[in-house]
Amino acid sequence: MGPCKSIKDYGHRLDADGNPEIKDCQRWAFPVYYNSPESFAVFGALYSNKYNLQDKFFSYWQVVSNRLSGNKYVIGYDPINEPLPSNPIRDPFLILPGRFDQEQLDPLYSKLFKIYDKNSVSRTDPNIMFFEPG
């Protein structure tokens, strides 16, 4: 998986809210940050609904899919671009082909598709959800 380096270890300046300055973050390609403990923690919280993150994710897609329902220019939804297993360091078996997809993505995406489907204005309204495996 490469080096596991905390976001704090990059020495980014912090903004008034204590978040890394975007200009500093952009010095590195974004995939570098995927191997950080913070990234693993956020993906883990999403898949397990820790801090109600999954509920908030569903609420977001509820609003988006409701707003875009019936729009002839929308062909489908891509819920997570380049999804990452929650913690392949803690559970290295998640990187086995299909395991992460079955154990973490499928349960999340199955619930999410119901939201898209419910917001579909008619059977002719495309309610396609794109799936990118881990």
* Residue pLDDT, tens place only, 2-43: 567 899 999 999 999 999 999 999 999 988 888 899 999 999
The reply to whether 40 falls in a domain is: no
The reply to whether 44 falls in a domain is: no
Pair 129, 77: CB distance under 8 Å = yes
The pLDDT of residue 44 is 94
In terms of domains, do 86 and 120 share one? Answer: yes
Q: How many structural domains are present in the chain? A: 2
- Summarize pLDDT for 51-62 with one digit per residue, the tens: 999 999 999 999
Is 82 known to be catalytic?
Answer: yes
Q: Cα–chain-centroid distance for residue 79?
A: 7
- State the average pLDDT over residues 97-104: 95
Query: For residues 66 and 78, what is the distance between their CA atoms, to the nearest angstrom?
Result: 15
The pLDDT of residue 31 is 85
- Residues 93-106: b if buried by 16+ CB within 10 A, e if exposed: ebeeeeebbeebbe
Which residue is catalytic, options 21, 82, 103, 132? 82
In terms of domains, do 66 and 28 share one? Answer: no
In terms of domains, do 28 and 53 share one? Answer: no
Domain residue limits at 10: 1-35
